[in-house]
Amino acid sequence: MAETTFFVKEAISAGPVQTLEAMLTEMDGIERALIDVEDGEVKIQFDETKVSEERIAITLQQHGFHIS
């Protein structure tokens, strides 16, 4: 199990957070996603044999999220 953290600009209000949670939980290999709405921090636990950190980042960007 691997873990990564992204800061998502839009993850500070309810609508985008719900969209983000739904998208992440539907991705194969993501075990857990915790979102801190105070600063947009998204901690993701994932199975690196099923999905890569790069694939997660690309998917977030493809759905219009801005990450840092």
Round to whole Å and give the CA distance between 53 and 49.
11
Round to whole Å and give the CA distance between 22 and 53.
18
pLDDT of residue 66: 95
CATH number of 2-62: 3.30.70.100
Q: Is residue 1 exposed (0-12), middle (13-18) or buried (19+ Cβ within 10 Å)?
A: exposed
Round to whole Å and give the CA distance between 21 and 28.
13
pLDDT digits (tens, 9 = 90+) for 12-59: 988 889 999 999 999 999 999 999 999 999 999 999 999 999 999 999
pLDDT of residue 68: 86
Hey, where are the domains in the chain? 2-62
Q: How many other β-carbons are positioned within 10 Å of the β-carbon of residue 21?
A: 15
pLDDT of residue 22: 92
